[in-house]
Amino acid sequence: MVEDVLIRIVLAVIVGVLFGIVYCMRVLVLMERRVARIEEHIDRVVHKVLSEEVRITSKLRKR
């Protein structure tokens, strides 16, 4: 009788820990996707700034 209760408690703890791990992995994947999108936006801005800088330097050289 006591062993059954103990086994159920242990199994409940194990299942709870597994659900916690799955939830944390889900959160990490979502955060990674957000960071990837932020990096893409930064990359676009850098390319725009670089192209503008190239235009400015080419105009200054012509003078």
- How does pLDDT run across 1-55, given as a tens digit for each residue? 889 999 999 999 999 999 999 999 999 999 999 999 999 999 999 999 999 999 9
The number of folded domains in the chain is 1
DSSP state of 1: -
Q: Give CA–CA dist 23/48, Å, rounded.
A: 38
Residue 1: the pLDDT is 83
For residue 49, the enclosing domain spans: 19-63
Note the pTM of the prediction, 2 decimals: 0.66
pLDDT interval class at 62 (50, 70, 90): confident
Structural domain contains residue 2: no
Neighbours of 58 (CB within 10 A): 9
Q: Give CA–CA dist 52/40, Å, rounded.
A: 19
Structural domain contains residue 10: no
Burial of 4 (0-12, 13-18, 19+ CB in 10 A): exposed
pLDDT higher at 63 or 47: 47
